[in-house]
Each structure stands twice: as structure tokens, then as C-alpha cells.
Structure 1
């Protein structure tokens, strides 16, 4: 239609009439919605050229085109260019239309969106409130454009983690639109979508789905089955299903969204890339890493073509690919992806954007998994500094970083410091998200794991049961998070020697994981490992080996021959062989484990130290005391460097060395080692730890 109009107008009016410029603007708007940004810019610049020639530099139509060009730059992630265009528009309109014209309000809204994307939330709110003030003066309190600004303000509050404030703004918007536009206007559907996003972030999944389905019902009625807005809502419903652990339902929604967008927008629209990202997230949760990478790479290809090398969406996909590599134990590849993401975001968003903090967190997780605890803490503290500055003391992202720091302290055996971090996280989450959000359950799990390590088993069970109660209420009986907590409870029972109770919990966990994730998911392998440990502790060695070999088969299939999880299972199998007196078989397994960990985790990782300890035990049992001492001292050297003088693992090695000295009849040396161990354990675990 626009091209027909263009042809007629060029014939009737010539190439340079303002009506031609208007049509170029309209064509450009379509290209922008299609994600054809270069084509959009070409049309807008044609329009601009005509208007500058025919209407002079300061005509409001020129300002409108600057606004339109700014929108394209904003969608491309070229925020400085967008601001330049919006400020050009603002300058013209202030001169031509005065301070209070609705067009000024529109530009303030546009500038606010850029600031919101840049993480400059106070600046964004300032712009949105300027817009709101003009519109209320000029249009009254109930104009639909007031509702738009309320939506915009709410989006800032949402990013700041101020969910109640966001809901207040969205409901103000909803009230206006219901009054002015009726129950079934697409703008109503948009606000229902936005409210649904807040409820989802709050863990109120049923409320979120209710809002999304209201939105869907309106859009299906008003826009038909195949409008891109329908696809957006399917994506949103998919996210809720994903958070609920309903992965097949999520995939169904994402694929519905994908079919619509492919039909309406073509193969290369950024919305297609977003859906590929979402599908990949499911595959990653399901442990289908190759499928996840395939989807992420599809997304990456589209965004690189449509948005260029440096768009923040590219950085997001690099982050996502990094997570898959981290889960696969490909730590160098993960770091490479995270650093690519970091480079883009630093260039596009500056040093202090929350997205930078997210990437620092991700890099910190890799370092933690590699046993590089100082590096992990450095990254987490960089993330924390940014988020505290940009988001305030109580944003859920702050709570996440406190949890991550707590995990490092826990791994370092600094249990009081870990509990301090976990409790900081808990306080924020309870304040911001309420007592029953799934992330509260996660924090209770973390606190419980510290108590378990400290031998405070009743306290650990109390925390795990608090976690379980929340997760059962919020997520239902079969969510993978429920399985995680059953696993954790079982671990406590095993430490208490309540083997039947432990097996009961592990089997509950196994049933959920097999149902929700399939027989070959890595978490199923983890559960087999855990069941194997119980059987090993019970002296049921054949049953233990059966479980360990089931785990090994899954892990080799999913992760390849050299993942650290494979090394863990070789360690477990070796432990059984050692108990059975099959020392050569035990050493063979331990050396397989050692080879993997030395390759994947470097020479000084605590897991390498653990394997040296284990090999030392075999040598001790064989009466090869010098060889045992050599292994124990290798372990001790690593752990002293990595974990400090007072970690419980150091105490374990002192005990092991003491046993060798005892067997050698070096009783004074043995007592010296045992007392060193005792001193550490009393300091770290208290006088009453088992």
C-alpha cells in the first residue's frame, strides 16, 4: 500500500514533496518492525532529505524524522546515536512548539527508553516524569498517552527490582486504558503482559499465567492468530513454564511463538533470535547441551547479521553460550564467551551497567568451579560494586551476588562468612520477594548446606524442610528444585547414618528427575552417584558399583570422556575397590580421575588434592607408607595454597598423615598431626562436630 501511495505521489507531486517524505517515513516504520534496520534508516534519511529541503531545518516534521531515526538506533543498541537524534528532535520542538507540547513528551519518553537500556535508571525516571507532567497538563489525567508513560515508569521500577512500585504503575496504566479504550484494546493486552512479567519475577506463577492468558485472549480476538504480539505472549508463557520446570510445555509455547514469527517476520528478525535463545535455555536445563548450542548459534547468526557485532543482544547470547560451556566443564571456552560479552557491554553500555555486573558474576562462577577462589571473589565483588551503585542495597541481583560470594566462602571452609552472606541474601529476598519466593527456598538450601558441613544436622534438616515447603507450594510436587532438596536431605541422613531414610529421599529425587528431565540427564547421574555412596557406606559394594557405573555411562554420553564429573565418579568407583581390597583396580580408577582433573582443572585445584589423598589411602592400606606420605603431602601443599591453613580438608589430610605415622610406630609425629587436625576442626566446626 505504501509503495502504491509512493508511486502515485511521485507521479502527481514530484520527488521532493513533503507527502513523499511522509510515505518514506511510513515505509521505514514497517522496515523497523521487520528488523530491517538498514532499510529503515535509508527510508528515514530519504524523508529527512526532502523535509530539510522543502521545510527548512526546524520544522516539526524534521523533528519527527529525527525521533524515528533515533528509534532505529535504539533498537540497534547504538544508544549514543539514538540520544543524538532525540536531542536534535527535542531542540527543534522546544523552539517550534514550546515546552509543553505532547511531541516534547514523546521525545522525553524516547530519551527515557535509551537511559533505561543503558541502566541509567534515575535519568530514565527523570525523563519519564517530565513526559508525564506535560501530558497531564495538556491531555488530562486519563489520556491513553498517560498510560504509556506509566508503563514506561513501571519498566524502570521492574529493572530496579521495585516490583510493588512497578505493579502500582502498571495498574494505573491499566485503569486508564480500560476506561478510555475498553476491555479488548491491544494496549490492555500489553499491560497485562507487563503485569505478568512482574508476577513471574515475584514467583507468582499462577498470577503471571492469568495475566498472560488475558493478554492472549484479547490479542487473539483483536489481532488474529498470527500477529507478532501473540508470539510475544507465547514466549512469555513459555518463560513461566520454564521457571516452573515444565520444560515440555515451555517448548510447546516457544515453538508456537517461533512459527508465528517465522511466518510474519521472516527467518532473520531479532524476535526469531530471542525465541531461539529461549528454546536453547530449555535444552540447557534438560542437559541437551549440543541442542542448546545449536539454538544459541542460530540466534547469534541472526543478531550478528541484523544488529552488527556490538549489539547488547550479541553480548547476551555470548553469555548464554558461556553458561553451556561452563556446565559442560569447558571452562576456557566459557571464559572466552564471557569475555566477548564483557567487551561488547563495556563498549556499548559503559563500566557500570547491570549487564556488566551479570557477566562479572558469570566469570566468577567459572573461577569458583576452577577452584580459583580469589579470582572468583574479585569478580563477585566487582559485580557487587556495580549493582550496589546502580540498583541500591536491596535489589534481587545483590542477593544473587551475596549467594555467590557465600558459595566461595563455603568452598573455602569459611562457614561463618558463608552464613553471613547467605543471610544477607535471605534478608533482601524476603524484603523484595516475600517469604515464599522460590529464591528464598534456594537460600534456605544454601544455609542448610553450611550447617550440614558443620555437622549441625538438625539445623540443616530444619532449613532444608523450610526450603521444601516453599518449593512444594510454589512449584508443585515434580519440579527439579524439589528433587534437589530431596537430594540434600538425603545427604544429611547419610551423614547421620540413617541409610534407609537417605535412600528413600534419593529415590524420590530420582523419580522426579527421570520424569521431568529424562533418564540421561546429568542430575540423574548425580543421584546415582549419591545412592552409590549410601550403598558404599553400608558395605553393599556391588550395589554401589552398579549405581556408579550407571552414573558413569550417563556422564560419558552427555559430557564426553574428560569432564570433572567423570573424574568424580572414577573416584567413587575407586573408593569401592579400595574397600574391597582391590588395590590395583582402585589405583587405576584414581589415576584416571587424576588425569582428567589435571587436564581440566590445572595442577592446584582442590579436586586434584582430593585424589592425591585418595591415592594416599590406598598406599597406606597396602603398607606403602612412604608412597602414602608423598601423596598426602602433595595434597597438603595444594590445599594450603588454595584453601588456607584452617580448611577442614587440611584437617583431613593431617589425620591421614597421622595414620601413616601411627602405622610406622612414629607415635609422637602421629599425635602432632592429629592435634593439628583437632585444632582446625575445633576452630572451624566447633567442639561438638562428629
Structure 2
């Protein structure tokens, strides 16, 4: 073959990453000889790299047909073709076909070269990667270790292929949740590549990049940032050769800034990555879809839900075009859109998209797969938001069962499932069970990550909320302060997670009736969120709303109305009229007007809240029950006792249906109805309902709880009124 032949020129262009030029040369070669399997195979590889996977399969299948005809089944070229097909099927998410073709390549090479040949290491490594994608992590480790054993025997410890195996093992251990082992193997890969290539080499950059991702998972954000910046600095030097690596580094830095809640900076870096990738690959490429997906997640965190939806739909359109309807990446897009619709309170659409995601991965991977578990978990959270707590529990338990099977008892993913179930039991009013599951999650995460990790902070925070509901307010404050301490240590003072911790502590002090301290913490949360997000953000609106509620309790009703009106204006701008946040604020405004004695306006606001809640959640939802309850109390104050008892009964019926008999909300409903009956002079019914309230709260909280004391006093008041009524009648 002459040096200036089209085939040779194509190979030269390929070596210097000029794929477009290589493609042109290869087409010339095909024109001259349409049976040149080497060129057909090379074209297939180019199309694979471009993300044009159907075209890639077409060309490599042509190469395979020719090679089988020329050489028979047992030939290195046939093994190469099977291997390349396996890699494309892997990219397509068709993992069954990927394993089948990769094993064919493995068996041919085993016959031709024996167990200890370098090609065998490549085949084992490829199969390990496919099993990794399948979620079959033990098998992945087995095959990658086989590759590692061969390569260490052939080349010794300090060889670039050994570094690749260490790196791959690091990725698998990462997915097993064994982050220490993951970092250990990635560091081994880094040490080898530093020895072989020095500091300034793309392979070293990739190792730094992987370490950055592991440190990100561990919550070691400064270390993650340091490694990712090193990767970027190295890749910048090689940008002419491989700009896609720089795009990858920008993307990863964006993800770290997202975790640090520096969201504007995160968007800036992901946009940089997207710009490079659009230039390199055009719109319809898997990497471009990933960038849009990452942008969507950051916009979601920012509360810019319309932008998030737009970016997620772009990712979905690309993936549908490239991979068709039944692909794991399409499932991820559906899942992400489901989460956005959930945040928008479009819960029916959220359920539709989350169910689509689950159906795809169930078909691909079967029941026992990590992503299937994740989608069950997402559906559990969604049904929890819908108030469908039995369905939420069912799906979250499915996720937990898969987690047990795949990862064993002590794994962060299992901890996450325990946490989700704890939140469901909390919503059901099973507070002991909620605390039990919350503590299980905490124990696993402490074991895996140590004290200073975001997941541990989250567990302390969740337990603080459960203890608050149980009335263990000192314990609630203790756990919430632990969460705050960790968050400040990890993220510094100016982070949204710190604002969340301040907000939760404020709610606990509010429950303790320490209203000055509650206002202090709510103001801290507000100041921080204003600094991070500006005026028009949902978290800022939440802070205004919470402060409004405190000022109402303190009797500063004008100030309460001012803050609640601010919260309302922000939420109307962000979400429009029909959103649960708007309903909550209308409710609070109703309560403020009630406190000022403006009962008509109070009823108007509370009816607005009820209309929104019914529209969003249907008639039988705890939030609708809350609105009926508030309206019932307003009608009671107006002296419209018939309407008051009607609405309070509706609230009781909904809550009984949702929570069963043993829930704190039921105690409040019984108490409110009891007071309405007392006002009507129906003392028997009043006694019956007030007794139920006292009995239930005593069962839930025990002696000495403020709620138990309140209900005791209510009964004493009833007895006194009955006594005085009888005395007057005599």
C-alpha cells in the first residue's frame, strides 16, 4: 500500500484526531474498493465517536460480513469486528447484545492467542465495562481484575494499560459506594501515569478528573475543585488536540460549583462545555444531551423551572433521535423531567414521566438494577407529595429491597432508601418508625463517610424534624445544630444548605415558643438566601413566609402581612396562581386577617387557598383538609357554627382516610371539632371529641408535652362551662 493512498491518508488523519478529513479519505478508499473491511471498520469507529450509532453498526456489520467470508470465524479481524459491535451496542444501551458480541470476540482471541495475551486483557476489560453498565458490579470487578492480572504479568506495575485497569476498578468501586477504595485505585492510576508521562499529559488530566468526581461524591469539595482545576490546566495545554477533554473539565467544574451552591458559576462552566461540544459534534450528540441535562439540573436548583424544563426537553429530543424510545439515557431524561414537573406541582405529569423512565429500565435491566431502584424511589417521593402515602411506602420498599440485594445492608444507597421511608412514616404520623429508619440511614452514612459529609448532615437534619414533631424539642435542636455545624464546615457560611439549617432551627425555636430566637434564625436564612439567589427565588419566599408566621404569633400583624405579601408576590411571579406555595401563603394571610379580626378577608384568603389545593391535589388530600380546618375556624369565629362544624368534619374525614386513627393531625381535628361543639352548647359531642384529642396526643407524645397540656386545659374549660351552666339552671 503506497504512503499516499486514501487508506493511509485516512489513518494519518485519524491519529491526529481529524475525523472529518479521515472520513473523506476513507470514502475515496471505499470508492476504489468497496470490500475493504479495514476501511469499513474505521468508518464505523468514526461514526461511533460522532454518536451516529446506527450508521456505525451498518459499516461494522459490512466489515464483519466481508471478514467472515474471507477468513472464517476464527480470525483476529473477525474478533475486532465483534468487539467493535459490542462497544456500539454498549453505547446504545443494548447491553445483552454488547455482552454477546464481546464474548464472541473474547472466545476467538482465547483460541488464537491463549489466556495470557495482551488482547485477552483488552477483551476482559471491555466485558468488565459492559457488566459495570449493567449494574452487575461483582462480575465487572471479576473481569477487570482478570485484565489487570494479565497486564501486570506482561508489562509490570508501571504501564499505561495497568493504569487504565486501576482507573476502571476505581469507577466500579465508586458505584458500589466504596469511595475509599475508589479513590485508592484512582490514585494508583494517577501515580503510574505521572511516572510515565509527567504532570502535563491528557491521561494524567483524566486521572485528576476522576479523583475530582470521587471527592465530589465524598463531599470533599475543596479537594474536588483542586483536582478538577489541575485536569483543566493540563488539558488546556493540549486543547488543539482534544478540546472535548477541556469541555469535560468545564462540565465537572460546573458540577462542583453546583454542589457548592455557586449556581451562577456552575451555569457559566456548563455553558462553556456546551459551546465546545456543539462546535465539535453539532446538536445531535450524546455529550451535548448530557450538557443540556446538567444545565437543567442547575436551573432546577435555582428555581428557574421553565428553563430547567426547556433544557431537559432538549436533552430528551437529542437522545430520542440518537437512541430511540427504549434507551436508558431516554429513561434518565424522562426521570429528570418528572422531577421538574414534581417541583412545578404538576404531579400527574410528573408521575407519567417517572413511570415512563421506570418502564424503560425494567425492560432493559429487569427488576434488580440500581436505576430501577432509583426510579422506584423517585415514584415513592412523588406519591408522598401527592399524599398517596400507601403507594409511596410500596415503591420506596421496592427500592430498599433491590438495594439490599445489590449492595447489602450497609450501603449509602440503602441509607437513602431508609431516609425516604423515614420521611413517609413521618408523613403517616408513625414517628417512632420514622425515627428508627432515620437513625438507620444515619448509622450507615456515618460508617461510610464519617461525621463531616453532606449525607450525614441531611440525616441529622431529617431526624431533627422528626424529633420536633414528636415534641422532643431539645433533641430536635441538638440534631439540627449538628447538621448546621457540618454544613458550615463543608460549605462555609454562605451556602444554601446552611440557610436551610437556619430555617429548620427557626422552626424548632418557634415550636418551643422562643419566638425571638425563631425570628433571629429565620432572618439569618433570609439574609443568606437573598445574598445567594436575589429577591425572586422560592427559598427567599419561604423565608418571608416563615417570618410572617412568626410576626403573626408575636402579634405584629402589620409586619406579618407585609412579609406574607412579599412571599406571595415572589411566588406568583415564579409559579403563577395555581401552586401549593401560593395556597400556603393565602392560608397564612387568612390567619393574619383572622388575628386582626377581619374575618371576611380571612375567609376570602382561605377560600382561595382551598380552591388551589383542590385543583392541585383533588378533594381527598391532607392539604385540602388543612384548608377546610382553617376555614372551619374562621366560620367558628364568625359565629357560623353550622358551617364551621361542616368544614371541620370534612377536614377530619380526609385526615382519617389518609393517616388512620393514630396521627397528630387527627388530635388537632378532634380538638377543633370539640371546641366548635362546645360553642354550639353540644357538650356531649364536645366532651367526646376533646377526650379523643387528649387520649391520642397522650399516646403519641406522653405526659408533659405542650399539646397534651393544651388539650387537658381545654377539657377542664369544658367541665367548668358545664358546671357553670348547670349551676345557672338551678
| Band of TM-score, shorter chain | over 0.9
Q: What is residue 620 of structure 1 aligned with on the other side?
A: 636
| Matches for 1:326-365 after TM superposition, within 5 Å | 326-365=342-381
Q: Secondary structure at the match of 2:170?
A: helix
Q: What is residue 599 of structure 1 aligned with on the other side?
A: 615
Q: What is residue 313 of structure 2 aligned with on the other side?
A: 297
CA contact (8 A) 1:342 1:356 kept: yes
Find out whether 1:525 has 2:525 as its counterpart: no
2:700 pairs, out of 681, 684, 688, with: 684
Distance 1:59 1:496 in 2: 78
CA contact (8 A) 1:353 1:390 kept: yes
Q: Secondary structure at the match of 2:409?
A: coil
Q: Secondary structure at the match of 1:141?
A: coil
CA contact (8 A) 1:413 1:684 kept: no
CA contact (8 A) 1:197 1:236 kept: yes
Q: What is residue 396 of structure 1 aligned with on the other side?
A: 412
Find out whether 1:232 has 2:248 as its counterpart: yes
Q: What is residue 264 of structure 1 aligned with on the other side?
A: 280
2:289 pairs, out of 273, 279, 289, with: 273
Q: What is residue 673 of structure 2 aligned with on the other side?
A: 657
Greater alpha carbon shift after TM alignment, 239-248 vs 399-408: 399-408
Find out whether 1:29 has 2:45 as its counterpart: yes
Per-residue displacement from partner, 1:248-288 (whole Å, max 9, x unpaired)? 11011101111111111222111011011111111111111
1:322 pairs, out of 323, 338, 341, with: 338
Q: Secondary structure at the match of 2:317?
A: helix
CA contact (8 A) 1:231 1:258 kept: yes
Q: Which runs of 4+ in 1 moved over 4 A?
A: 7-12
Distance 1:655 1:633 in 2: 11
Find out whether 1:407 has 2:398 as its counterpart: no
Q: How far did 1:10 drift?
A: 6.0
Distance 1:338 1:8 in 2: 48
Find out whether 1:43 has 2:59 as its counterpart: yes
Higher relative contact order (CA 8 A, sep 6+): 1
1:173 pairs, out of 181, 189, 198, with: 189
CA contact (8 A) 1:226 1:264 kept: no
Find out whether 1:486 has 2:488 as its counterpart: no
2:304 pairs, out of 272, 285, 288, with: 288
Q: What is residue 142 of structure 1 aligned with on the other side?
A: 158
2:136 pairs, out of 110, 113, 120, with: 120
Q: What is residue 464 of structure 1 aligned with on the other side?
A: 480
Relative distance call for 1:11 and 1:421 in structure 2 (3 A) is: closer
2:685 pairs, out of 652, 656, 669, with: 669
Q: What is residue 75 of structure 1 aligned with on the other side?
A: 91
Per-residue displacement from partner, 1:36-55 (whole Å, max 9, x unpaired)? 21222232223223322332
Q: How far did 1:667 drift?
A: 3.4
Q: Secondary structure at the match of 1:516?
A: helix
Q: What is residue 91 of structure 1 aligned with on the other side?
A: 107
Per-residue displacement from partner, 1:592-622 (whole Å, max 9, x unpaired)? 1111111211221111111111111112212
1:186 pairs, out of 171, 179, 202, with: 202
CA contact (8 A) 1:25 1:44 kept: yes
Distance 2:428 2:270 in 1: 41
CA contact (8 A) 1:414 1:684 kept: no
Q: What is residue 440 of structure 1 aligned with on the other side?
A: 456
| Matches for 1:179-258 after TM superposition, within 5 Å | 179-224=195-240, 227-258=243-274
| Matches for 1:547-586 after TM superposition, within 5 Å | 547-586=563-602
Per-residue displacement from partner, 1:456-512 (whole Å, max 9, x unpaired)? 222222111111111011011111111111111111222223222222211211121
Distance 1:439 1:280 in 2: 23
Q: What is residue 510 of structure 1 aligned with on the other side?
A: 526
Relative distance call for 1:285 and 1:8 in structure 2 (3 A) is: closer
Q: How far did 1:378 drift?
A: 0.4
Relative distance call for 1:10 and 1:470 in structure 2 (3 A) is: closer
Distance 1:671 1:157 in 2: 62
Distance 2:451 2:610 in 1: 44
Per-residue displacement from partner, 1:609-659 (whole Å, max 9, x unpaired)? 111111111122122222222222111111111111121111111111221
Distance 2:575 2:351 in 1: 18
Q: How far did 1:668 drift?
A: 4.1
TM-score (ref. length: structure 1): 0.96
Distance 2:285 2:676 in 1: 67
Q: What is residue 648 of structure 1 aligned with on the other side?
A: 664
Relative distance call for 1:6 and 1:606 in structure 2 (3 A) is: closer
Task: Give 5+ residue unaligned stretches, structure 1.
Answer: none
TM-score (ref. length: structure 2): 0.91
Task: Give 5+ residue unaligned stretches, structure 2.
Answer: 1-8, 11-22, 707-730
Distance 2:691 2:105 in 1: 77
CA contact (8 A) 1:654 1:677 kept: yes
Q: Secondary structure at the match of 2:387?
A: coil
Q: What is residue 14 of structure 2 aligned with on the other side?
A: none
Q: How far did 1:9 drift?
A: 5.4
Find out whether 1:62 has 2:78 as its counterpart: yes
CA contact (8 A) 2:26 2:43 kept: no
Distance 2:536 2:294 in 1: 22
2:551 pairs, out of 535, 552, 569, with: 535
Distance 2:272 2:112 in 1: 47
Greater alpha carbon shift after TM alignment, 172-181 vs 63-72: 172-181
Relative distance call for 1:105 and 1:532 in structure 2 (3 A) is: same
Q: Secondary structure at the match of 1:310?
A: coil
Q: How far did 1:157 drift?
A: 0.6
Q: What is residue 119 of structure 2 aligned with on the other side?
A: 103
